[in-house]
Homo-oligomer: A and B are copies of this chain.
């Protein structure tokens, strides 16, 4: 699904069941970080008009999701707090090449893969949780994340020809699969 090489393991659902509140708090942080990633891309490549405009839209949507998760936490009386992130993001970012335009391609594809994994996990969560409000919430986020994945892959093709982008996406997706399979001991959206 969405370029991903491996589905979420059942192991993760055991983490969700044991630490749903923490997953929800981490979810808010993930939406904030997704907005931050798009903002950083806007700053780095502001003179690429299609990228700059697309990033403003993604920032807005991710911050809207962030607010929605904060609302959900408030309704449930779960205190929002700082939380140590999973190692998923930093490990993926280590794969980003240092020289342009390869760096731009990798930053966009890594952002796109994180969106794809979030999308897959929302789908898994929507099928797994029994709470109707949460199920509907995860379903409502699915479409935006899938769209963001496609946007990032398309924008990467503005920096290098599409076949090269596809090849690199395939390689990065294999790395992503290895990282997500390795998991994390703490319950997180990407543990």
Contacts and interface: CB of A to CB of B under 8 A. Distances in A.
Interface of A: 29, 32, 35-36, 39, 42-43, 46-47, 49, 52-53, 56, 59-60, 63-64, 66-67, 70, 80-82
A42 B32 contact: yes
Contacts of A32: 42-43, 46
Nearest to A53: B67
Contacts of A64: 56
B43 A80 contact: no
B67 A56 contact: yes
B59 A35 contact: yes
A59 B29 CA distance: 16
Given A36-B39, A46-B82, A59-B59, 16 more contacts: A29-B46, A32-B46, A35-B39, A35-B59, A36-B43, A39-B39, A39-B59, A46-B80, A47-B80, A47-B81, A49-B70, A56-B63, A56-B64, A56-B66, A59-B60, A59-B63
Contacts of A52: 70
Contacts of A53: 67, 70
Contacts of A70: 49, 52-53
Contact of A60 (B43, B60, B81): B60
